[in-house]
């Protein structure tokens, strides 16, 4: 077996041969990886200019990180999301429609019963999972691509109560959100779900990718390419920006998004998102009530064909600029804003999983401005990232033999 570079910096606990193409595969095995600045690859749209300094290609941090990467399990099948429970267990979604518990010692338990049917073609399937542990009750919510009539589908969310000290039993699972309109597409479901304060939840959606459907990102009466804000019972908050318009528009917080697959709350409870661009144009935003984030009218990067996206413009009055963008893309997945003590130097930093960049992207902030970007290479498609109650970072990798990895500071 050929040995990867990661093995050359393996810790004393790494008593195995590392995989050439990814992180360690054996339970408990670990390697140490070094952070680095973002690569200086040529942009897909090199003639486009940022709207303000450090809107893209921020410098590397003054001191890069050294991170220990430990495998908890490598027995997951195409995991999409992970949540960490207070007792050390994990809840993981697998794209084909399975919801599983992984124990603290790495055992993958049988699938939890009661999950609705999903349309797992293309980018669809069982997608996000979110957990709220309060008042001795574990509320569990999932998002998924819901099959509809005539071959169509749409993003949906459902919530229930979970119980059990080993595996979980899910009960009273009820729909909370069903995206309208449905579409015949296997792409761009968005699908992050966040619990927020004041009995609120956030749900992100994609615009389903097709040339016709992407135009609906600009239509507030369609729940495509939107940030959705609801109460935990699925009703509409009275202070949503378009509540007076009724219908779908009443659910909308912000619009003009492409495919929102990263979402996190900061220490002030504010929502941050990262959405997929095409070839270039992944963007970090802090969506504000009623604002238009431009897709598909303005964007950085270009279409997959190599032609300009739309008319090729990156700015327009009445449309928001991203706080930061990537060209080439990182292909964002899960996201967390770090608040723990274990990585003390990361507190307040944005950590984003990368599918194309195959690792974690770490952004430091000064207010709402990005001041540095670091890449923690894991050599695997990172599908989700979460902070555990112990302050460690946990990620799942998007593979047939998917892994759950634990990241801690290297000594």
Active-site hit among 27, 188, 257, 276? 188
CB atoms within 10 A of CB 127: 26
CB-based contacts of 144: which residues, under 8 Å, 6+ apart? 97, 115, 116, 118, 124, 125, 126, 127, 155, 156, 157, 158, 191
Q: Name the helix (H) or strand (E) containing 75.
A: strand 66-76
What are the distances in angstroms from CA 316 to CA 46, 127, 215, 240, 309?
19, 33, 16, 24, 14
| Cis amide linkage into residue 39, ω under 30° from 0 | no
- Read off the tokens for 316: 């327009």
The Cα 281–Cα 314 span in angstroms is: 10
Give yes or no: 257 in active site. Answer: no
Q: What residues does 70 pair with on adjacent strands? A: 30, 406
**Backbone dihedral angles phi then psi of residue 333, each to the nearest 5 degrees:** -125, -120
The Cα 88–Cα 392 span in angstroms is: 11
- Read off the tokens for 99: 């919801």
CB-based contacts of 64: which residues, under 8 Å, 6+ apart? 34, 35, 36, 37, 374
Contact between 116 and 144 under an 8 Å Cβ cutoff? The reply is yes
Question: Measured in whole angstroms, how far is the alpha carbon of residue 19 from the centre of its chain?
Answer: 26
- The residues assigned a catalytic role are 188
């Amino acid at each position: 077996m050929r040995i990867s570079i990661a093995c050359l910096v393996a810790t004393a606990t790494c008593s195995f041969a590392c995989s050439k193409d990814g992180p360690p595969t054996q339970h408990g095995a670990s390697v140490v990886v070094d952070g680095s600045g973002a690569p200086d690859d040529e942009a897909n749209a090199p003639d486009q200019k940022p709207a303000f300094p450090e809107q893209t290609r921020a410098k590397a941090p003054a001191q890069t990180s050294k991170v220990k990467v430990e495998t908890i399990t490598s027995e997951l099948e195409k995991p999409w999301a992970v949540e960490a429970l207070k007792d050390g267990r994990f809840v993981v979604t697998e794209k084909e429609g399975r919801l599983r518990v992984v124990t603290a010692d790495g055992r993958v338990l049988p699938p939890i019963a009661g999950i609705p049917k999903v349309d797992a073609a293309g980018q669809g399937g069982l997608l996000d999972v979110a957990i709220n542990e309060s008042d001795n009750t574990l509320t569990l919510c999932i998002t998924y691509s819901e099959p509809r009539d005539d071959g169509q589908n749409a993003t949906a969310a459902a919530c229930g109560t979970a119980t059990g000290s080993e595996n979980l039993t899910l009960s009273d699972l009820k729909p909370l959100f069903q995206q309208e309109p449905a579409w015949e597409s296997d792409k761009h479901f968005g699908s992050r779900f966040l619990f927020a304060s004041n009995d609120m939840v956030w749900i992100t959606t994609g615009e389903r990718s097709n040339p016709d459907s992407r135009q609906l990102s600009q239509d507030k009466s369609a729940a495509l390419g939107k940030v959705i804000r609801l109460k935990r019972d699925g009703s509409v908050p009275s202070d949503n920006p378009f509540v007076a318009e009724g219908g779908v528009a009443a659910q909308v917080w912000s619009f003009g998004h492409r495919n929102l697959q990263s979402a996190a709350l900061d220490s002030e409870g504010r929502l941050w998102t990262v959405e997929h661009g095409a070839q270039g144009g992944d963007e970090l935003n802090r969506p504000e009530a009623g604002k238009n984030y431009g897709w598909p009218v303005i964007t950085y990067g270009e279409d997959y064909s190599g032609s300009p996206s739309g008319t090729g413009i990156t700015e327009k009055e009445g449309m928001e600029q991203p706080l930061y963008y990537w060209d080439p893309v990182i292909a964002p997945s899960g996201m967390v804003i770090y608040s723990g003590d274990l990585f003390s130097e990361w507190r307040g930093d944005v950590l984003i999983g990368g599918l194309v960049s195959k690792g974690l992207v770490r952004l430091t902030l000064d207010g709402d401005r990005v001041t540095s970007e670091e890449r923690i290479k894991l050599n695997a498609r990172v599908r989700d990232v979460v902070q555990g109650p112990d302050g460690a970072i946990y990620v799942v990798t998007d593979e047939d033999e998917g892994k759950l990895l634990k990241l801690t500071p290297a000594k």
